[in-house]
Amino acid sequence: MLYDKKRKYGKKKFCRFCKNPELEINYKNTDILKQFISEVGKIEPARLTGACAKHQRKISNEIKKARHMALLPYIAD
């Protein structure tokens, strides 16, 4: 067992928008969108957020709209 590596199994991530269709991804919902932005101000990738590809694209587009409308900052202070 020369290459015996420890494997780390974490909790399986799921898309909260697929599970709960009542949650709406909209540029006006800044409270939801802030959860998908890092401390630095970057959009978090899907592997960290757990969102599916369809909803991750929607999230990133709505964050960009909210930034353009000055509801969210481009960079963190």
Q: What is the pLDDT of residues 15-36, one digit of tens each?
A: 999 999 999 999 999 999 999 9
Percent of the chain predicted with pLDDT > 90: 77
Strand partners, 43: 37
At the second CATH level, the architecture of 13-68 is: Irregular (4.10)
Q: What pTM was estimated for this model as a whole?
A: 0.81
The domain locations on the chain are: 13-68
pLDDT of 38 = 93
* 1, pLDDT greater than 60: no
Q: Percent of the chain beyond pLDDT 70?
A: 87
Q: How far is CA 55 from CA 27, 30, 58, in A?
A: 13, 16, 5
